[in-house]
Amino acid sequence: MLIGFKRQFAPFVLDGTKTHTIRAIRKIAPKVGETCHCYVDPRQKTMRLLGRWPCVRVETIEIGFRLARLEYAHEKGFRFPFDPSDYFVRMAGELLTYDERDLLAWRDGFRHPALFERDGTPSRQGLGYGGCFQMMMEFWKGRLPFEGQIIHWNWTPADSNCCERPAEERLSGSASHVGRFFRSRVDG
């Protein structure tokens, strides 16, 4: 399956600290064992392969507001101070705690340098109460409630170094892997 990422998430996919993605339910459901072809800037001239890794788990995920009045307020554009207790995240039927939601957000690539110590452990400094989960909810603003899937892959460094050049360089000319594939199918 092809998985495209915004540029802000690419470094975390490459370094192996982002090993899952949250997506809407697809017409063709992802399957464990299938290869995740991870790209940055999909369908653009700047498209670049980040790596190919096997899918190891697919779970359901729900993200939304705890109370209907909060959903209505957000739809109408009312602004409130961020309060993580206003939101819920449910993975595979289990409601996540605040710390679990914050860790989910960090692992999903919502990170701010001021939120972490030098060793990478979370710090409550920086953006204040809410941390990574607050950044995640800003990203999801206007898209809640959400029901989808979280797709996990098994990152390995050998698979991440597969391609550093832009897609048009890798696929141009007679030496492209696509051309070789079709020639071998026709010739033999």
The structural domains of the chain, with segments of one domain joined by +, span 2-187
Q: How many CB atoms lie within 10 A of CB 96?
A: 18
Percent helix, strand and coil across the chain, each rounded to 5? 30, 25, 40
- As given in the structure block, the two tokens for residue 77 are 């554009």
52-66, 68-82, 142-156, 173-187, range with the lowest pLDDT: 173-187
Degrees, nearest 5: CA angle 64-110-82: 50
Dmax (CA) of the chain: 65
Identify the weakest region by mean pLDDT among 31-45, 89-103, 169-183. Answer: 169-183
Residues 38, 23, 150, 106, Cα dihedral to 10°: 80
Residue-wise pLDDT for 177-188, tens only, equals 333 333 333 444
SS3 track for 38-63: EEECCCCCCCEEEEEEEEEEEEEEEE
157 within 8 A of 19, measured Cβ to Cβ: no
Has this prediction a pTM greater than 0.75? no
